[in-house]
Structure 1
């Protein structure tokens, strides 16, 4: 590392939670090698000795993972190359081997992107305040102190079978009734992990887009966008499946579709899984981010648990899980976190919990989930604005007389007087966008409130 990079070019790629950019334009092998060296130096100073490295099915992933390994070993740390993995499989390796980890993926982003999700030993998160800022500073400075010890060594290990066994031990599905499960892997890593995790279980899997293909030839691997669920919705109805599961590109998020092809809210899934944990751990703490439905803290309280609200983002959720000793955490984006999975997120483990709940009773999924649906939501509505702060304050002023409570934990959340309705406005960290989420008792109220706020934001 010799020539420093501009801070603007580095911070455009190293974001609040991870590293992500366009391959060949924003990131390349040299950039990633420098990141690996900087990360390894940080780890070495903290006494860590090894890094597990996994990658997804994108064409650029093997080369970038190799360059990262070169940077790590040059700083004296060993590397365990896992090969093709899902992100939660990488977290499993980090947790079980008690070593740091690096997952090469751009998750749900289009094929031209790639990036890294970093963690410390035990799958502990690395965010802006816990390591990424130091890496930024190193890359801008362009110099690292020379390491005069022996270089690290590279070994290879396949942990897929062990990962599958571990998840099946956490959620025992052997005694559930047989279920037909439609799975859309979106040509992502679930095409590799689902067959391993679901094997020898009373599940008849109907596979859709299981071929690993980082060009995503069928649809984007982002099930948060409704258009990317359409194929699974039709597939569930066509195959007569009891449930549909949709994974994103690196398979750390799982979305659920019922037997009628209707999407199930991630907040409802969060409430269901929280209820299961509270049955096993009475009085336990459950984390939820501030965009999840009110149904989550309501049901947690009704079942004797303690609900703790936090910011959006995996590094915040994981830190809060560790701080509070929470058994489970959930986000509106279908990230689900588990204490017994090193406080890390796993779409696969969430799927197993839903399958266990469905298969342990005779009703349909839509009947099962009806009790977890109390409110309607807008989903995330984005607006391009020139001045995020100005537009946010304009909304606050307009709703001043109708505001019951207001907080600035993450953007601005406003609860309205005389109704359970609320909304949150958050600025994007990387784009000139304001993100609006609205929840209210009826869809009509959601639309009316959202339209009123959007008129102010977009004025």
Structure 2
């Protein structure tokens, strides 16, 4: 019998090497994230594999699963511990080796396998590990599945059977690259900085774009799991500023930055100015809705209000609806509504047919961005950006807040603003026009300025975003209004970055 996981074990002890350790908070809303060695050990990962295999059996899904791993110094060992658990639970494992996350999603279709488990901590700092999972392509697990998985693993309620099998798919990336490049090269010569932050995308992104005729200027594309320059996260200003400098130095048409597991793409224009992903989404929605009548889009609550107010989208008959932040939520909602695409401010973009298969792939996003430029001869990326109505937007800002406290804090913040609206109180000097509480609270004032507070789904943090269509001053006032409420809660710590 496999023992029940412990919440904590002391390293360098017999117990640490002989018992599974799994901290409960690692089971998050739609994937799993732990500090490796501190919150989960290899036997804990093995227990996770047993639990996942057991749950797949409960779901009456064929027990076959694609498994891959990202480029961190410990990811391969974690993957093999996970595989040992999956095999013990009777799963046939299809190992695609080193991969970006969307390559694992692609493998579900290409190999006709229903389930996936991708070992990755995405953009989290070194020391973190995690697994993105699904059993119904192109969807990934949501809260219901993660809750059940947590129950099985922590309760050691495994159903083990000896029917598992293992197959390694040699050189699987070639199949993924061939799928992405089975189209004509762009008619326009595009010069692009391709930045990967020394993460996994560096092994694939440059050659995909080169095959499509892009003049690639590589930036930090060498694989180095120490991430020596900056964390591969295209929402972080440090990475965006490095891309800016390279774009200006090489007079590039665009800068494209990929996160650690390759499912997101950040953009810098030809002037070196970063374009936040939600604005890129509006630009892509304009391009796509010009080709497809009455296009429907799903956008997350962190995203710009332009999806609703942009006159070009309105004129082209496009409609957008806001939904919960998180790749699993957005993917599922985009699929349920049959929307043409879903756009998330973090850079997760979900393209349904004819553009994609419904999952988030940073390279598909990069190709769509280059295609948008191809559709606009004589125009630069900055021209397309400047054609949008002007708004002042913040980056995503994340004050520290423990996993055990963050959801309770957000509930209190939601109640604060619901009470304020009911009483007619003003926020940043203006009445509240509306509240969206599908994911935290998005407070919109009468002049269209808005602020959002929600709990991060994958780190011990809150998330704060603000925007104003009026002025930078109003944007900053909205931030002060949101932050002043957070400061009443001592559990909320310092921000990772601020405006």
TM-score normalised by the chain length of structure 1? 0.93
How big is each residue's C-alpha offset from its partner over 1:249-269, in whole Å with a ceiling of 9 and x where there is no partner? 111111000111110121121
What is residue 166 of structure 1 aligned with on the other side?
A: 179
The aligned counterpart of 1:378 is 394
Q: Deviations over 1:197-231 (max 9, x none)?
A: 12333211111111111110111112211122222
The aligned residue for residue 90 of structure 2 is 76
CA contact (8 A) 1:106 1:115 kept: yes
1:430 offset after TM fit, Å?
6.8
Provide closer, same or farther for how the CA distance between residues 142 and 236 of structure 1 changes in structure 2, counting only shifts above 3 A.
same
Question: What is residue 374 of structure 2 aligned with on the other side?
Answer: 359
CA gap of 1:432–1:420, structure 2 versus 1, over 3 A, is same
Q: Name the SS for the 1:102 alignment partner.
A: strand
Structure 2, unmatched stretches of 5+, are 9-21, 426-430, 489-499
Q: Confirm or deny that 1:107 pairs with 2:122.
A: yes
Instruction: Name the structure 2 match of 1:342.
Output: 357
Question: What's 2:329 paired with?
Answer: 316
Match of 1:458 in 2: 487
**Aligned residue in 1 for 2:279:** 268
- SS in structure 2 at match of 1:287: strand
> Is contact 1:98–1:121 with CA below 8 Å preserved after alignment?
no
**C-alpha contact (below 8 Å) 1:75/1:152 kept by paired residues:** no
1:315 is paired with a residue of what secondary structure? helix
1:369 aligns with 2:414: no
Q: How does 1:14-33 map to 2 (within 5 A)?
A: 14-33=27-46
Distance 1:201 1:433 in 2: 39
2:145 counterpart of 1:117: no
In 2, Cα distance between equivalents of 1:371 and 1:71? 53
Residue 297 of structure 1 deviates from its aligned partner by: 2.9
1:186 maps to 2:203: no
Decide whether aligned partners of structure 1 residues 109 and 381 sit closer, same or farther in structure 2, where only a CA change above 3 A counts: closer
Q: CA–CA distance in 2 between the matches of 1:213 and 1:163?
A: 22
Q: Which residue of 1 aligns with 2:453?
A: 425
Match of 1:439 in 2: 467
CA distance in 2 between counterparts of 1:449 and 1:175 reads 42
| Alignment check: 8 A CA contact 1:258 1:264 kept | yes
Shift of 1:378: 2.2
- Residue 445 of structure 1: how far off its partner (Å): 0.8
* Structure-1 residue corresponding to 2:16: none
- Structure 1: unaligned runs, 5 residues or longer: none
Distance 2:24 2:459 in 1: 13
Rounded to whole Å, the distance in 2 between the matches of 1:231 and 1:451 is 29
Q: In structure 2, what is the equivalent of residue 413 of structure 1?
A: 442
Number of aligned residues: 454
Residues 128-163 of structure 1 show CA distances to partners (whole Å, capped at 9, x for unaligned) of 21x22122111211231332x533233324332222
State the 1:395 CA deviation.
Answer: 4.6
| Change beyond 3 A, Cα 1:432–1:319 | closer
**Are the structure 2 counterparts of residues 73 and 132 from structure 1 closer, same or farther at C-alpha, using a change threshold of 3 Å?**
same
Of 403, 412, 415, 1:393 maps to 415
Q: CA 1:450–1:32 in 2, change beyond 3 Å: closer, same or farther? A: same
Q: 1:26 to 1:296 in 2, by over 3 A?
A: same
Structure 2 residue aligned with 1:295: 306
Encode CA deviations 1:310-350: one digit per residue, 9 max, x unaligned.
11111111111221111100001111001133311111111
Q: Which moved more, 1:401-410 or 1:378-387?
A: 378-387
Quickly say closer, same or farther: Cα 1:76–1:391, change in 2 above 3 A: closer
**RMSD value, Cα:** 2.2
TM-superposed deviation, 1:433: 4.8
The equivalent residue for 1:152 is: 165
Secondary structure of the 1:405 match is strand
- Pairing 1:327–2:356 present: no
**Conservation of the 8 A alpha-carbon contact between 2:299 and 2:342:** yes
Aligned to 2:228: 217
For residues 270 and 409 of structure 1, what CA distance do their matches in structure 2 show?
A: 21
